[in-house]
Amino acid sequence: MQRLLGSGYESFLEALQQTPPTSVRLNPGKTAAKPGLPKVPWAEQGYYLRERPSFTLDPLLHAGTYYVQEASSMFIEQALKQVIDLEKPLHVLDLCGAPGGKSTHLASLISPDSLQVSNEVIKSRAYVLAENVAKWGSGNVLVTNNDPRDFGRLKSFFDVMVVDAPCSGEGMFRKDLQAIGEWSEENVNLCAQRQQRILTDVWEALKPGGVLIYSTCTWNEQENEENIAWLSEQEQAETLKLILRPEWGITPTHLNGVEGYRFYPHLTQGEGFFMAVVRKGGIPEEEAIGKKKKYKLTLAGKKEQALVENWLQNPEQFVWLQHGEVISALPAPLFDAADKVFQNLYVLFAGAEIAEVNGKKLKPLQGLALSQHLNKAAFETADLNLEQALRYLRKEDISLGTNGSNWLLLQYKNIPLGWAKQVGNRMNNYYPKEWRIRMELPQELPSFTLLTA
C-alpha cells in the first residue's frame, strides 16, 4: 500500500480508523420519494445516511423499497451506462450474486424485456439472494445455484457479465475485523488463482463483443490488474476506459495495458473497491434457428391462468408458468431464453411466484405481494402502523378489529408487505417464516424513516 499510495499512505491509514459511511439505494420500481440526504454521485438512486440506523426495524426495507449497499460497489452503474445500450433487451449474468446488492442494482438498470440470471454457488447464500431478488420485485430475474464451470453450457449466451469475485477483502478492513485476521500473502495467492479459474470457467458464456465487469473489494494488484492482464493474454479481450469526474475521488490505474478503477477510503466516500470493464473480442454471431425444441418450462392451463391473471398489471405481457401447484409469471419475451437457462442450470427462483393452486382454492404468494407489477386493485388492503407492521414481520398474530373470510394485502405507508387471511375475527399471518424478523422489538420503537411517501 505504501508503494501504491506514496505520500497518501498516512491519510489512508487514518481513514481506516474512521467510521465507515452508510449508504442505501432506492428501488425506483417501488418509490418515487427522494430523501433529503447527500447523493452517491455515481449512482442515480444512491444516498448516504448521516448515521447507521437499525434497518431491521424499518418495514420499508423488508418491503424492498431500498437496499443497504456500500457506495463504492454502486459504481457498476457507470460501467453499464457508459458502455452498454440499456434500452436493448439483454442477457445479463451476476455470477457471484449473494446477498443481492449488485443483482438488485442491475435489475433496476436493465430494460424490462432483458433477462437477468443471478447466481450464487453456496446454497444457503443462494436462498438469501433469492429472498432479496423477490423483495426487489422486478420479475425478470432467475436465481441459480451453480458452480461457475456450469455456465460453460450456455456458450455465447450473455451480453453482460458481472463478476464480483471472492477476494482477500482488504477493502473491508475497517468494516470487518475478521477480514484482517484472515488476511495473509498465501490467501492473496489462493484468491488470485480462484479468480482466474472463475474467469476461465465463465468466459465461454459471454458473447463475442459482450462486456465483463470485474470487481473485488481488495487493493493488491495480483487480484486486480494482474488478473485482468492475465485474462487479456489468455483470451481476446480489451479493457474499456470510463469517464470519471474529478470530484468523485476515484483513482484510475494503468498497469500492463489494463484500465482499472480504485476506491480508497481517504479519497472517496466508500469502502475499498476495484473495478475493470472488459470487452470480449470477436464478432457477435446471430443465433441459429433450430428445429422446434421440447421445452422444460410448463405453461399454466387456461383455467388456472384465468384465476390469477388480473392479479398483475398488464397481464397480457406475461407468460404464466406452473410447477406443481405454484403458478409463476415471467415477461413473455423472456420465455425462450429462460427455458434455455432451465435446461442447463439449477434454478431456485424465477420471475414472480404468484399463487398456489389447490383445486378452486387460491393462495396468493409472497412474490406477488412484493412484485412491482402487482395489481393492488384486485385485493382488499389494510394499512398497518409501525408496531403492527413489525409484529407482522416477526410472524406474530395481529388484530385489526375486522371480520371476514378473505385474503388481505397488508401494507405499511401504502407499500405492500405480504398476506394475511381473515378467519372470522381472527387473522392468520402468512409472512414467510424463513424471512421473519428474529430480534426482539424494543419497548420504544425507532423514529427512523428513510422514505415518507
- Judge contact between 343 and 109, C-beta under 8 A: no
If we measure between CA atoms, which residue out of 64, 154, 59, 54 comes closest to residue 104?
64
Within 50-158, where are the H helices? Answer: 59-62, 76-83, 101-109, 123-136
Is there a binding annotation on residue 120? yes
Is there a binding annotation on residue 147? yes
Cell of 160: 453482460
**What stretches of 232-379 adopt beta strand conformation (E)?**
237-239, 251-255, 258-263, 273-280, 318-323, 326-331, 347-350, 352-358, 361-364
Contacting residues for 337 by C-beta, under 8 A, at least 6 apart: 91, 115, 157
Catalytic residue among 96, 167, 191, 217: 217
3-class SS of residue 164: strand
- Judge contact between 156 and 205, C-beta under 8 A: yes
Report residue 317: phi and psi, to 5°: -85, 0
* 158-164 vs 91-94, strand pairing mode: parallel
**217 belongs to the catalytic site:** yes
Q: Residues comprising the binding site for S-adenosyl-L-methionine?
A: 120, 147, 164
Q: Residues comprising the binding site?
A: 120, 147, 164
What positions carry a catalytic annotation?
A: 217
